[in-house]
């Protein structure tokens, strides 16, 4: 199969015709993947505001609904943002799926190759395929819900959806898949396009390049561990809030007014 592709490439070169489409599709795949990975890293941090307080999470929600810009909340902004991410998500999936094994024979060849060589980067690519397939289905459901129900976001609304509406299994699987896919993807994009050269002056040296690769992989694992820890704590907090709020499903959370200390009252002069 590989030999056939090489022969076709040689024949195309001799005929004076070289297609740049595969390279362009690779660039689109990497660019959209980079955008989605950066979005995920920020999105999970914003979701983790629930670890601070319900008021902090509500403030983040109001920010994305435009409250601090327009003085009113516009949930439609959430729908627009979710639709934009959904478009990039579909574009990324369409350009990435072309590299997946398309037949059982190709799948068996890849598994045999992976088992024989035991190459860590090849295994990471397999994890990308698995997590990407999971995300295609579960991520689409989540993004559609954000587009169609933008007002159902908040400390109580989100907690009720996760706990009372039994969405936590979907979010748990999606959470793990997204974090693995994002950080492995960042590592592979950095390696593929030589982005590490932007931060290192000693690229081109084989020993230094190996050190850079090891360093990138360490940062990848650190990112996975940190984000998994934060995100699982966030999910657990939402479930706890949902459990405590189970008898009031549908009620919305409102920030607690800060009580001002009472002004001291001047003492009346005592009668003499």
Domains of the chain with bracketed CATH:
20-248 (1.20.1300.10)
Q: Two tokens at 186?
A: 């960042």
**Residue 250 in contact with residue 159, Cβ under 8 Å?**
no
d(C-alpha 72, C-alpha 261), whole Å: 29
Confidence bin at 267 (pLDDT 50/70/90): very low
Residues 6+ apart with CB under 8 A from 216: 187, 190, 191, 196
Instruction: Please report, rounded to a whole number, the percentage of residues in the chain having pLDDT higher than 70.
Output: 83
pLDDT of residue 184: 95
**Residue 132 above 50 pLDDT?**
yes
Q: Two tokens at 107?
A: 């799948």
CA-angle at 229, arms to 198 and 41, nearest 5°: 40
pLDDT, tens digit (0-9, with 9 covering 90-100), for 3-60: 555 565 555 555 555 678 888 999 999 999 999 999 999 999 999 999 999 999 999 9
Confidence bin at 200 (pLDDT 50/70/90): low
pLDDT of residue 14: 54
pLDDT of residue 173: 97
CA-nearest of 192, 198, 182 to 92 is 182
d(C-alpha 89, C-alpha 32), whole Å: 7
pLDDT (mean) for 215-234: 95
């Amino acid at each position: 199969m590989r030999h056939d592709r090489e022969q076709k490439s040689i024949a195309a070169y001799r005929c004076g015709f070289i297609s740049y489409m595969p390279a362009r599709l690779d660039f689109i795949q990497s660019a959209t993947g980079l955008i989605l990975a950066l979005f995920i890293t920020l999105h999970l941090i914003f979701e983790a505001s629930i670890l601070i307080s319900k008021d902090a999470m509500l403030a983040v929600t109001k920010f994305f609904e435009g409250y601090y810009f327009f003085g009113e909340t516009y949930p439609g902004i959430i729908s627009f943002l979710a639709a934009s991410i959904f478009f990039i998500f579909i574009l990324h999936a369409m350009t990435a799926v072309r590299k997946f094994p398309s037949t059982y024979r190709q799948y068996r060849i890849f598994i045999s190759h992976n088992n024989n060589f035991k190459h860590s980067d090849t295994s990471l690519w397999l994890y990308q395929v698995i997590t990407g397939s999971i995300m295609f289905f579960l991520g689409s459901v989540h993004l559609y819900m954000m587009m169609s129900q933008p007002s159902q976001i908040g400390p109580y609304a989100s907690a009720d959806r996760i706990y009372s509406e039994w969405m936590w299994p979907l979010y748990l699987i999606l959470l793990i898949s997204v974090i693995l896919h994002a950080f492995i993807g960042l590592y592979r994009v950095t390696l593929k396009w030589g982005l590490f050269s932007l931060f290192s002056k000693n690229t081109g040296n084989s020993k230094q390049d190996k050190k850079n690769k090891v360093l990138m992989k360490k940062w990848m694992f650190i990112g996975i561990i940190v984000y998994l820890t934060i995100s699982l704590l966030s999910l657990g907090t939402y479930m706890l809030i949902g459990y405590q709020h189970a008898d009031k499903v549908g009620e919305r959370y409102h920030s607690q007014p800060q009580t001002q200390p009472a002004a001291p009252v001047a003492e009346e002069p005592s009668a003499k």
